[in-house]
Chain A
């Protein structure tokens, strides 16, 4: 393994230590080493919590900050945080107006959040949840509730965080975050597998010259393996899955987010984006705002995800709001 670590079982702890040392103006530690909170107070407004397995930098801890996430529960690599970590994150984010837990649809996260929510409610903290399910290939149309949450979670946090910053009630914050994810669709393409340091070898394979359409953020095998195509052809395959699913129609305005999966050069993401942008505009859909970079990764996997969110006046205002966190700074 050509990787930097000391003890493979301690990569998450050592990453959190480094993150806290670096981003002192945005985040601070809590009594739980697996919970990090924002330095911006939540008193008198709704607190935003997320959490998930590690290995997705900047997600999840990188979205803790101003007008975004207030506290995060940090799990082992590709493994849900404990119920205790979610519970401690709820307590860290609670400013007296309730907590919105905005997270992705994975079995472990669902169970741990449910237990943590019960624990917090015993303490009188009201917690409501939105479960992101933007990954189109992970389940058929009509079975959207089974779909995974992927990079669309960033736009969900952006909208929920902005709504909380504007003084929205817990119900209003939840409604905004739910609307954001309901109008968001994503797809991933993988070119190489990734390796959890403690496992020491890739847990799946993609043969050279092949690509995996619909790959999961944890290296879950995709829906289809095909020959590796040109960037323009890959861009078209991805757009062709995402746009018809919502569907996005002529006249719509949209946010487009293209994220690398960890090891793909950002240069190549712009090559993909260029074609995606053109294809989307050709359908009569206005690209109102776009993001290209490593926003939600999967260790050192090569590949990319495309996320598109349809806007309405409220979502547009929330997307435009300023925010300051490691993963996304916008003024």
Chain B
């Protein structure tokens, strides 16, 4: 393991996969805390169930899985499996694929460093692109995920924390961009111009998830 100096604090450049299970625990908390917010955003141009469904799946995972017995890979895989088999809606297959594809990258790894996490993000993008055909600008979660992944990859050479910072900034910008966009795919696309002026619910949950990844991983790195 090698270390880098970040804002005067010595930060690790990788963490043990075992310690990464708490990163997955952080995702559960952020979804539970934002249940009402996500449903409210979804209600503006969707059917208002996004927060309920996400909370149901993530809470089911928290109830069934003891994170102390998991590593980041097994925890992500179990979270993805539960979303895929128990949640339904569009979010079940979408986030199920998202987390399962991420978990596959670290199946045989011991530590997670910046290039590894970059590959995990990229695997999620590729998996979702096989499932649907949403592109940047269609007012979906891809408006958050695609630029965030690209920003992380571009900043990998500057260190794990710098890459997480870049990912977080790009994710936020992408998420906020959905407000001015007109929906092209998914349920809101039938509204045409009436979808403009409201944030996309899926882009919002993806922003919350990526922000949580960034915060939790920075915390794990500072403790490594």
Contact = CB atoms under 8 A, between A and B. Distances in A.
Query: Is B one of A's binding partners?
Result: yes
Interface in B79-112: 84-94
A115 B85 CA distance: 11
A199 B190 contact: no
A interface SS class: loop
Interface in A64-89: 75-85
Nearest to A108: B90
Interface stretch (A171-179, A216-224, A285-293, A323-331): A216-224
B49 interface: yes
Interface in A169-192: none
A148 B93 CA distance: 20
B185 interface: yes
A49 to B, nearest CB: 15
A241 interface: no
Interface residues of A, number: 35
Contacts of A198: 49, 52
B88 A148 contact: no
B88 A85 contact: yes
B88 A107 contact: no
A76 B46 CA distance: 15
Interface residues of B, number: 34
Nearest to A78: B47
Interface in B162-221: 185-192, 194
B132 A216 contact: no
Contact of A221 (B85, B92, B191): B191
A216 B194 CA distance: 14
Nearest to B89: A79
Contact of B190 (A78, A82, A196, A220): A220
Interface string A216-245: 101111010000000000000000000000
Given A107-B90, A108-B93, A203-B43, A84 B191 contact: no
A199 B88 contact: no
Contacts of A112: 88, 92-93
Given A196-B48, A221-B45, A76 B89 contact: yes
Most chain A CB within 10 A, of B47, B49, B56, B92, is at B47
A204 interface: yes
A138 interface: yes
24 contacts: A9-B56, A53-B89, A75-B89, A80-B88, A80-B89, A82-B85, A82-B92, A83-B88, A83-B93, A84-B85, A108-B91, A111-B93, A111-B131, A139-B190, A198-B52, A199-B39, A199-B43, A203-B42, A203-B46, A203-B48, A204-B44, A219-B48, A220-B190, A223-B192
Given A76-B52, A79-B47, A218-B187, 5 more contacts: A76-B49, A76-B53, A106-B90, A199-B48, A220-B191
Closest 9 CB pairs of A and B: A203-B43, A203-B48, A108-B90, A79-B89, A82-B88, A111-B93, A218-B47, A138-B190, A108-B89
Interface of A: 9, 53, 75-85, 106-108, 111-112, 115, 138-139, 146-148, 196, 198-199, 203-204, 216, 218-221, 223
